């Protein structure tokens, strides 16, 4: 056997199959809920026969189901089951869920919990409002952090290198209100730190406004953000101060539930 030549064993082959199966599952999104074998093969750079074999295995285990109308595949109930287990065991979720319900009742708008996923923000829980006109949002959907209220909060109280990485990748414009100037973005995040809440007005989606506040853990670290989202007609400038106050209160209450003691950290500063 030549030196330096990598021998492909059954173990490495099995690990590769597991990795590719996970890549298939992660390729599904809100925008691509149904995918065909040929599409997955092109997107993932795999042989069609390999994808077909892995898809068949995922179907047999309930992670994918056949979509008869499109002849493609969509995520199955096994994924939902695992997601439910993770959600129910997240301390943030368990402690903050009642706070969201209260926030919806106090403001009348839909409330979310969000965390950072890489450089994006992602909703992990949602409490729907009772208005007939609602803003369409999705749990598990990634959004750019620099043009969302929850994302701004999570960036403002995070390491500077994360902001620099986002700027390096480019600040894409989604609406005429999207902040695409790095200097303006940094100034905005400075303001978020001072006022302890973030505002996003039609920066990602036209016609919507959101307000977010930080949630801290027992170490004082911002680990999550809480927000409300609604149409600009209801969330007008007149109502913003009161709504911001309610969101900050929700963030503070959730923080206390996670063990954060503001008095203790104030003493440490002096």
DSSP secondary structure string for all residues of 203-268 = SSSTTEEEEEEEEE-TTS-EEEEEEEEEETTTS-TTTHHHHHHHHHHHHHHHHHHTT--HHHHHHH
90-269 to CATH, choices 3.30.530.20, 3.40.50.970, 3.30.450.40, 3.20.20.70: 3.30.450.40
Q: How many CA atoms lie within 13 A of 182 on its CB side?
A: 10
The chain-wide mean pLDDT, for the chain, equals 86
Q: Does domain 10-80 have CATH number 1.10.10.10?
A: yes
Mean pLDDT on 130-152: 83
Alpha carbons 86 and 173: distance in angstroms, whole number: 34
The answer, yes or no, to whether residue 3 has pLDDT greater than 60, is no
pLDDT of residue 192 exceeding 80, the answer is yes
Show Cβ contacts of residue 233 under 8 Å, excluding neighbours closer than 6 positions.
Answer: none
Do the Cβ atoms of 117 and 225 come closer than 8 Å?
Answer: no
- Which part of the chain has CATH 3.30.450.40? 90-269
Instruction: For the chain, give percent helix, strand, coil, nearest 5.
Output: 50, 20, 35
> Where in the chain are all domains bearing CATH 1.10.10.10?
10-80
Instruction: Answer whether residue 180 shows pLDDT above 90.
Output: yes
Percent of the residues in the chain that have a pLDDT greater than 70, as a whole number: 85
The residue with greater pLDDT, 152 or 10, is 152
pTM over 0.75: no
The overall longest dimension of the chain from CA atoms, in Å, is: 77
The yes-or-no verdict on residue 219 having pLDDT over 90 is: no
Q: How far apart are the C-alpha atoms of 166 and 233, rounded to whole Å?
A: 31
Q: Is pLDDT of 18 > 80?
A: yes
Compute the CA torsion angle 18, 20, 21, 25 (nearest 10 deg).
140
Tokens 């989202």 belong to residue: 229
pLDDT, tens only, 58-80: 999 888 999 888 889 988 877 76
State the Cα–Cα distance between residues 31 and 111, nearest whole angstrom.
Answer: 22
- Name the nearest CA neighbour of 213 among 204, 223, 203: 223
In the predicted model, is pLDDT for residue 233 greater than 80? yes
**pLDDT tens per residue, range 99-111:** 999 999 999 999 9
Q: Would you say residue 34 has pLDDT above 60?
A: yes
Which tokens sit at 100?
């969201």
Angle between helix 240-257 and helix 91-107 axes, rounded to 10 deg: 150
């Amino acid at each position: 056997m030549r030196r330096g030549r990598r021998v492909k064993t059954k173990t490495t082959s099995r690990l590769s199959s597991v990795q590719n199966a996970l890549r298939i599952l992660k390729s599904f999104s809100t925008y691509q809920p149904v995918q065909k074998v040929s599409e997955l093969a092109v997107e993932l750079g795999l042989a069609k026969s390999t994808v077909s074999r892995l898809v068949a295995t995922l179907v047999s285990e309930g992670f994918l189901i056949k979509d008869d109308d499109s002849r493609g595949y969509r995520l199955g109930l096994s994924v939902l089951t695992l997601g439910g287990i993770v959600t129910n065991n997240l301390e943030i979720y368990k402690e903050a869920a009642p706070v969201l319900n209260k926030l919806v009742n106090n403001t009348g708008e839909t409330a979310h919990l969000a965390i950072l996923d890489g450089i994006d923000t992602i909703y992990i829980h949602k409490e729907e409002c009772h208005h007939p006109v609602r803003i369409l949002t999705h749990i598990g959907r990634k959004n750019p952090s620099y043009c969302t209220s929850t994302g701004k909060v999570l960036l403002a109280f995070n390491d500077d290198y994360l902001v620099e990485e986002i700027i390096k990748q480019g600040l894409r414009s989604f609406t005429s209100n999207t902040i695409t100037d790095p200097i303006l973005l940094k100034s905005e995040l400075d303001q978020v730190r001072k006022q302890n809440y973030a505002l996003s007005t039609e920066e990602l989606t036209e016609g919507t406004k959101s307000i977010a506040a930080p949630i801290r853990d027992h170490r004082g670290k911002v680990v999550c953000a809480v927000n409300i989202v609604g149409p600009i007609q209801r969330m007008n400038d007149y109502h913003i101060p009161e709504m911001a106050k309610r969101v900050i209160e929700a963030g503070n209450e959730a923080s206390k539930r996670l063990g954060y003691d503001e008095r203790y950290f104030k003493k440490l500063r002096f």
